[in-house]
Amino acid sequence: MKFFVLTIFICSASLLFSQVKKRELGYYQGTISSYTINTGQELLTVDSSEIIIWLENDRISFKIDNKKYKGTYTVKKRNKRDYTLKVKLGFSDIEEELRITGKNKSIWRKGLFPQPDSVLHKLKKKAVVW
C-alpha cells in the first residue's frame, strides 16, 4: 500500500514539474519563409506566411495567415528555462516539434517537410489580434 501511494505521488509530482512555466506562456510571432514543392511534374512556389503561436497552460493554438489550429502539447525535455515540446494538432497525426528558449524569449519551430524551420519571438499580449 505504501509503495502504491509513493508511486502515485512521484508520478503526479513529475507531471507538475514538467509543465511550462508561466513566464514562458503567451504569444509568439514569426515568419515561415517561402519554399518550393517538387510535385514530380513541376515546381510549385509557396509564399512566405506569418505564424503566431499562442501557448497556454494546457493547450496551444496556431494561426498561419488566416487559418487557426488548436491542439495539445507535452513537454519532452526541460533544462532550466529551455523546453522541447511535442505538439499534437487536431487536423493531423503528425507531431510538430517546438523548442522554447526562455532566455531569448523565442520559439524554434521545426518545419514539416518541405516547410523550412522558423524562429518566433515573444510578443506582448496587447499587441496581438487573435
- Measured between alpha carbons, how far is 54 from 31 in angstroms, rounded to an integer? 15
What's the pLDDT band for 122 if we cut at 50, 70, 90? very high
- On average, the pLDDT of the chain sits at 86
Whether the pLDDT of residue 13 is over 50: the answer is: no
**Domains of the chain: which residue ranges?**
2-127
pLDDT per position as a tens digit, 53-111: 999 998 999 999 999 999 999 999 999 999 999 999 988 888 999 999 999 999 999 98
What pLDDT sits at residue 128?
61
Whether the pLDDT of residue 8 is over 50: the answer is: yes
